[in-house]
Structure formats: C-alpha cells, structure tokens
C-alpha cells in the first residue's frame, strides 16, 4: 500500500493509506450487502460477509466468497460491534471494509479504527464524517462555504428548559433532531409548546438507541417542503462532482418510501445551482467517496441545507440509472486511490428513474412494521431498465431485529411519464404472500393524479390520505368464481395424486370430477371475503365446466392451472371472459394476482379449530414483537383513553402503546428491557367501579 497525502495552503488536509483492493469485507447485511457483492464480483474482488444468528441462512451469506459469524441477532452485539467486524477483517485478510448504509457507515470511531489497523475504509475521511455527522457543526461549515441554511438552535446547552425556550423563540412548529441522526431516527415534530417535552423525550430515547448519543438540535419546521438531495462524489486528488438530484419528498415516519431522479419540475438553472452548492459542501470538508447533500426546497424552489449523509444512500440506484454509472464501482476505485472515472462535463443526465421501497408493513395500521416468512415471492423479470435490489428469497424470514425493507424496485424510462408507467406495471408483478406489505399502497400512491403531475411534498400522504387509503373493494362475482375454481382444481390434483397410489386407481369412488349417473352433482361452498361470508352453489357439468351461483347470479366457469416460471397461473374463462391471474393457495386462503389488482378469498375455519382471539379482554396488546423500552404506568394507576402506557422498540422504530379505554391498571405484564411477542397482553385494565355501575344502570 501507499500513502496519499493532500496539502491545501500548506496544511495537510487528507492522509490515507491506499492500494489495490482484492478482498473487501461488507460490514452490513441484506440488500446493500448483496448490492456491493455484485459489483465486487464484476470487478474480480473477493467478498467477505459477516452475519448474526438471525442471518445464518440469509442471501448475503450465500452470495459471499467467505462468511463469518459475529454474534447474536441484536445489532448492538453483532453488526454494530466494531471489534468483531475488525477482527473478521484481519482474520480474513480483507484489504478494505465497505460499511454499506446504517450500522457503522457513519461512525467516526470505526473509520479511525480501520485506519489504525491499515485497512481501507470505503468512505470519506473520519474528519468529514465527524463534521457532517454533528448537525450543529455541519450548519456552521455550510454557512461559511456559502451553502444556504435554515435557522435554528444548535447549542451546547441541552437542558429541557433551554431547548423549549429556543423552540418558542424560533416559532412553532419546530423539528427536533438528533445531531448525529439519520434515516428518520431521533426526529420528531413539535406542533405546539404543550407537546414539545413529550416529543423531545421520545426523540432522545430513539437517538440513544440508534446512535448512542441524545444531543438534540431544534430548527424551524418548513411546512409542506420538498425533500431534494444531490448525489456527490469526491476523490483523493481534489476532484468533486455531482450526479444530479433526487426527489425523496414522499415519506412516512420521516422515512422515504418512493424516490425519483431527476426531481420533477426542476429547471436546468435550479438543477445547476443545487449541484454546485452540493459540491461546495463536499469540498468544504475535503470529501472523498459517495455522499449525499440533502436540502429542503420550498414552493418557489428556494433550497436550504438540511444535512449531509456521508455514505452511499439507499436510493442511490436512481442516480445510477439516469447517469449510466455504478457508484459502488466508483467507491472501490476511489478508495484504492484512483481518480474519478468521470468529471462534471462528462456526466450526462438521461431519462427518468423511480425507486419504490417494498416494506413488510401495514399501511392501514399507521405503517406498522411486520415480520415473518415470505411464503410466496414472485417479482418482475429484471432487465436493463428494471432492477430489483433485495436481500431475501422466497422462504426467507423478514426479521423483527432489523429494518423491514424487503426490496427496492428500480425502473428507468425515457421520461417521467414512461418511467412511472413502468413502475406501476412492475409493482403489479411484485407478489408476496405471508405478511403484510405496502405494495397496494405504492400503487395507490404512484397512480394519484397529483403524484403523476409531480406535485409532491413531504406532506403528500396526510394531504391525500382519503385517496391513498380507499375503502377495501369487495371481490367481484367473477373473482369469487376464480377462487372457487382454484380450490376445485387443487382438490382434483390432490385426489388424483391419492388415487394413483391406491390399490384401485380407476375406481369412480376415487374421482373428484363430480360424476353422477343420470344427474348433475352440485355442492355448496362457503367462502370468506374479509369479515363477510358468501355462499357459492357449484354445479358440475358433464363437459367438465362448472355453473356457479352466487345469490341470483349464475356464472359459467372453465379453466385449468398452468405452470410458468415456477408460478401457478389460473387459465380460466368466466361467462366468456378469459383471464390468467397468478394463483397462490396457502393456509386455506386463495390469493389471486393480476394486472387489475390482487384479491384474497379464504375458506372459513370451523370454530372448533379456530384459535382464541388475540389479546385478553380489557387489555392493551403488543402490535408487534419488540422490546419494552419504557413502562409508564404501575398497578393502581388511573388512565384515560389514549394515555401512554408503554414504549416499545421494534424494527429500529419506537412505538408508544396507549390505553384503549379508561380504567385502572390491574396488572402490568412486562418490565423495561423485556421482549414482548406480537398480540401479547401488555397491561390489564379494569373499569372503575363507579363507571361500571353507571354503565350498568344506563343499560337497564
């Protein structure tokens, strides 16, 4: 290896050991680990994976040339353990460490530790991580560099009183942010003085959990802004470029859900100003590698520095799609001391790209994260203009210990309209069974007229809530017939498999085709649609078709199951209309997927087989598996509807559990630090005697 030393005005500003990278350790998991490994393989660089107990059989472990176990599932004991990661780096003979995003990617201490061990840290110098990671420091540096900033309090006095006083001076609403924050963690909005302290405490708890640092800053919250960020890249030779902007305005819980590049309705002049400001920001801290400068943009396209993420961003693929670059390859080359592959005038913007993040979550329940097995997973076919960035396969488990993202669907088109059309087409082909996902929500979002027009802000979801969360559609009669047909064909397949192995394979008593001598066989089937049931009368016709009666309507139905690419398709005809939905039957439920949408129709489980309902009577239950961070009540406390009871931490997010009704705490089932499974009762509430008596009297 050789040392690269850069001197600016007589002062050493950058000194790094560089050299040929032949083996790289990826200090991460999931889709970003797989993403880095693909480029490493393309470049002939060997990859080393690390994994926790929860990831022993994961996709990134299978892809790596070597893989090393580094501890139990909790990230603090595995992926966040600098000592364990560095031990593996040395043991494996890795020349460099790629931190991905999250975990150790923006840790000054980890970057310094790599340097001390003579291992290349694929990222910026630790000084840049430190300066840009502390938001108060970064604001001062940006202001000095001529980058527009927004006013706020970034001081050392962190007392509740001082922060609340500064919030009042700035004027509500305000944003409370962890100075070392990122990824939406440790961020809260206080709308009024009365809720400031509650939001401050919540932000601090989450910041301690995510960054081991709870120092906060307070800024004026710009209402209805756009979130626009610029991809920058620097090398060790003083070069820095921008690869245009991304619009990441559409968010939930301060986390991006859909991103696009370039930003809609941004003029070439504003685009150039954004890029030049971002390059000034990068040069102000002698930046090396991939970074993102994030701005808030108002309705007049004025923009203000928000923060700089000193790592590769989750949404980097959209920048690659519009510039024809591989930013991970750039990272590896620049970390080895090479110059940037392209200078500013060589970087050309072509077309438009979208990225949709597919999460295991329930949009209809405040985007509550989920976990569980991917019982069925089928995706659109990747091609030159369609990328699927994922770290899971069918049968894998989405773990409760980590972020619930399943995949990133990335598409490119000649213009925004073409790219959006491609995105929606591919979302229809992304089919998952086993847990809740946000795919239907992404379809509602990407099909909204205001989104199609490019009128996006960070308030897009609450502003258009009614349109984005329509009442669920009852499956049509045709869909019910398709589901019934799927069940009948499955029954026939199972029966044929049984009779072929029996002693009398040709016995008519082993047939399931409904044959009867001189009469037509009919049967009644009850199906469940959500919380309702529907009765279907099925008549077996002699030509192998079916007549299905639902209420007063009668449908003529034919069809068969076809296998294509490992998936089952129901090639059917209902009243002369042919269709070919994808068919998945699991756990007494028929899942139908088509370009018109998805439907679920189930067979009711008999009461004697049904499990008990989740949660005890009068109890507040855990909405997911997680850790109890804080218990706010004790036995004997009186609570009102909506009062906070506990704070849970799951999927790297904090969730406050509130009282479902008024009453007195009878029992508290969990203590701080303990694990609670999904649907486990957390506390038991009983009504006060006076209220119970009043209610009993009013009912007489």
Q: Catalytic residue positions?
A: 311
Measured in whole angstroms, the distance separating CA 605 from the mean position of its chain's CA atoms is 33
CA dist 186 and 168 (Å) reads 20
Residue 180 backbone phi and psi in degrees, to 5: -105, 20
Q: What are 411's strand-pairing partners?
A: 354, 386
The kind and range of the H/E element at 127 are helix 126-133
Per-residue CA distances from 314 to 35, 257, 360, 488 (Å): 11, 11, 17, 44
CA dist 14 and 17 (Å) reads 10
CA dist 82 and 107 (Å) reads 10
Rounded to the nearest 10 degrees, what angle do helices 126-133 and 135-144 cross at?
100
User: Which DSSP category does 35 fall into?
Assistant: H
Q: Residues, the chain, total?
A: 700
| Strands laid side by side in the 152-153 sheet | 152-153, 216-220, 174-182, 185-190
Phi-psi region of 324 (alpha: psi -120 to 50; beta: other; left: phi over 0): left
Q: What are 620's strand-pairing partners?
A: 683
The kind and range of the H/E element at 561 are strand 553-564
Please state, as a whole number, how many other Cβ atoms lie within 10 Å of the Cβ of residue 219. 23
CA dist 595 and 582 (Å) reads 10
CA dist 132 and 140 (Å) reads 10
Write the DSSP string, 128-160: HHHHHHSHHHHHHHHHHTT--B--EE--S---H
CA dist 304 and 147 (Å) reads 8
The answer to whether the CB of 327 falls within 8 A of the CB of 8 is no
The answer to whether the CB of 434 falls within 8 A of the CB of 374 is yes
For residue 570, the SS3 value is strand
- And the tokens for 638? 């009186």
Rounded to the nearest 10 degrees, what angle do helices 439-446 and 416-428 cross at?
150
């Amino acid at each position: 290896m050789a040392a690269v030393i850069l001197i600016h005005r007589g002062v050493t500003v950058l000194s790094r050991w560089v050299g040929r990278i032949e083996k790289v350790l990826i200090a991460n998991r999931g889709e970003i680990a797989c993403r880095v490994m693909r480029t490493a393989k393309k470049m002939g660089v060997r990859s080393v994976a690390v994994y926790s107990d929860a990831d022993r059989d994961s996709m990134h472990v299978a892809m790596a040339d070597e893989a090393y176990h580094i501890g139990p599932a909790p990230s603090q004991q595995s992926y966040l353990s600098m000592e364990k990661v560095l031990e593996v780096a040395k043991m494996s003979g890795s020349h460099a460490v790629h931190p991905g995003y999250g975990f150790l990617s923006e840790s000054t201490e980890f970057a310094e530790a790599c340097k001390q061990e003579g291992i290349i840290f694929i990222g910026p110098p630790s000084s840049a991580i430190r300066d840009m990671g502390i938001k108060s420091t970064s604001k001062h540096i940006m202001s000095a560099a001529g980058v527009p900033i927004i006013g706020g309090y970034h001081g050392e006095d962190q007392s509740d009183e001082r922060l609340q006083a500064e919030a009042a001076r700035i004027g509500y609403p305000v944003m409370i942010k962890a100075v070392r924050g990122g990824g939406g963690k440790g961020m809260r909005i206080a709308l009024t003085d009365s809720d400031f302290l509650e939001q401050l405490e919540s932000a601090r708890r989450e910041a301690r959990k995510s960054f081991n640092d709870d120092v906060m800053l307070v800024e004026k919250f710009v209402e209805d802004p756009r979130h626009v960020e610029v991809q920058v890249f620097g090398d060790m030779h003083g070069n820095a470029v921008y690869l245009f902007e991304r619009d990441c305005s559409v968010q939930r819980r301060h986390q991006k859900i859909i991103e696009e590049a370039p930003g809609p309705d941004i003029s070439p002049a504003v685009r150039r100003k954004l890029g030049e400001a971002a390059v000034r920001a990068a040069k102000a801290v002698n930046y090396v590698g991939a970074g993102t400068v994030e701005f808030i943009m108002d309705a007049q396209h004025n923009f203000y520095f928000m923060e700089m993420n000193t790592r590769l961003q989750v949404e980097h693929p959209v920048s690659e799609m519009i510039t024809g670059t591989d930013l991970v390859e750039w990272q590896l080359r620049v970390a080895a001391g090479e110059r940037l592959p392209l200078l500013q005038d060589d970087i050309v913007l072509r077309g438009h790209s979208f990225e949709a993040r597919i999460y295991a979550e329930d949009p209809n329940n405040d985007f509550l994260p989920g976990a569980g097995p991917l019982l069925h997973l089928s995706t659109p076919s990747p091609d030159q203009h369609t990328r699927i960035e994922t770290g899971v396969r069918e049968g894998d488990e989405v773990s409760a210990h980590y972020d619930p993202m399943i995949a990133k669907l990335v598409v490119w088109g000649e213009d925004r309209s073409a790219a959006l059309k491609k995105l929606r087409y591919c979302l229809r082909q992304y089919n998952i069974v086993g847990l809740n996902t946000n795919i239907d929500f992404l379809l509602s979002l990407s099909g909204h007229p205001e989104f199609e027009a490019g009128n996006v802000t960070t308030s897009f979801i609450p502003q258009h809530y009614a349109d984005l969360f329509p009442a669920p559609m009852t499956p049509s009669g045709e869909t019910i017939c398709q589901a019934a047909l799927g069940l009948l064909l499955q029954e026939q397949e199972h029966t044929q498999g049984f009779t072929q192995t029996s002693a009398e394979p040709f016995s008519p008593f082993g047939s399931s085709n409904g044959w009867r001598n001189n009469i037509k066989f009919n049967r009644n089937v009850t199906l469940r649609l959500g919380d309702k049931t529907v009765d279907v009368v099925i008549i077996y016709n002699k030509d192998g078709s079916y007549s299905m009666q639902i209420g007063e309507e009668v449908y003529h139905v034919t069809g068969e199951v076809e296998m294509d690419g490992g998936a089952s398709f129901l090639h059917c005809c209902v009243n002369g209309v042919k269709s070919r939905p994808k068919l998945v039957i699991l756990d007494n439920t028929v899942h139908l997927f088509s370009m018109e949408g998805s439907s679920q129709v189930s067979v009711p489980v008999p009461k004697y087989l049904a499990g008990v309902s989740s949660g005890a009577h009068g109890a507040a239950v855990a909405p997911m598996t997680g850790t109890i961070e804080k218990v706010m009540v004790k036995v004997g406390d009186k609570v009102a509807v909506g009062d906070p009871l506990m704070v849970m931490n799951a999927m790297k997010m904090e969730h406050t559990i509130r009282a479902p009704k008024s009453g007195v705490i009878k029992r508290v089932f969990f203590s701080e630090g303990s694990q609670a499974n999904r649907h486990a009762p957390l506390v038991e509430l009983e009504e006060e005697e006076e209220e119970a008596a009043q209610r009993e009297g009013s009912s007489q």
